[in-house]
Amino acid sequence: MTSHNQFDVATRQLERAIILYLEEADYYSAATLAGASEEILGCKLKTLGGMHALDSMISAITEIQTANDVQPLNRKKLRDDVLNEVRNWLKHYRYNEDLDFDDRDAAASLIDRAVSNYFKLTGQKTPTMIRFTNLDSES
């Protein structure tokens, strides 16, 4: 039996997600791997006293809703039914098997969240992560 480090596995999942996204346009697999990585890296970050990218998004959305006199969604509902809806749909069976979403955008969002968590943990990005984050500047 071999010992495996969860941070290393999450990093490998994220790197592979980016490759699947950039080189193979396999957005379902990219989103699934990025979602797993994002969760592991985010939980590690929280354990060390940092803020998970998902929690940052929830806080920002809640602040915007409050500032615009909109009743904020419950944090759990916002997390599960809005921000993680696609991630959860990709990995859990649901009676209603259809969901409308842009697979490319969903994968990009999950990769971005995972890269954010990785960067907050390490203070750096791998060359693959830099390649992904530079996509916006190439457009």
> Would residue 68 count as lying in a domain?
yes
0.85 cut: is pTM over it? yes
Q: In angstroms, rounded to a whole number, what is the distance separating the alpha carbons of residues 124 and 68?
A: 35
Cβ(53)–Cβ(38) under 8 Å?
Answer: yes
Q: In angstroms, rounded to a whole number, what is the distance separating the alpha carbons of residues 102 and 107?
A: 9
> Would residue 134 count as lying in a domain?
yes
Cβ(134)–Cβ(34) under 8 Å?
Answer: no
Q: Which pLDDT band, with edges at 50, 70 and 90, does 97 fall under?
A: confident
Lowest-confidence segment of 6-10, 30-34, 42-46, 54-58 by average pLDDT: 54-58
Q: How many domains are there within the chain?
A: 1
Domain enclosing residue 115, as ranges: 6-138
pLDDT, tens digit (0-9, with 9 covering 90-100), for 49-87: 999 998 888 888 888 888 888 887 788 887 887 888 889
Task: Show the CA angle centred on residue 9, arms to residues 134 and 105, nearest 5°.
Answer: 40
Minimal CA–CA distance to 53: which of 108, 105, 124, 113? Answer: 113
